[in-house]
Amino acid sequence: MTLSSNLLGPSGPSNLLGPAGPTTPLKPEKEEPREFGDVTAARNNTYASVLKAMQEMEPVSNQRHTLRLSNPEYIDPETWSLADQKKAILSGQSQGRRVRGTW
């Protein structure tokens, strides 16, 4: 067996579950129009498109197992208080939204 430096090639991690089936490119969704500097709308569009992608994710399977994500939802709030924002900034952390779902 020859080793390849291409980690995503046929001998790399992408082949762990068996041969990959044909893939179809994602169609870009229409986002809500927004002003260039509207950070809140950009954030909401991003969270909405990520949640939609998780909801439409195809099951991953091999000969023995199938993984399917169902009922993904955000468990953190959409907005943060100013005190929480300040705490995250001063402690060098970020504010993200965790997702819960069932495999």
The reported pLDDT for the residue numbered 2 is 53
Name the E strands within the chain. Answer: 60-61, 66-67, 70-74, 99-102
pLDDT in tens, 26-47: 566 666 678 888 888 888 899 9
* CA atoms of 37 and 32, how far apart (whole Å): 14
Q: What is the mean pLDDT of residues 48-55?
A: 93
Domain ranges in the chain are: 58-103
Q: Who has greater pLDDT, 67 or 18?
A: 67
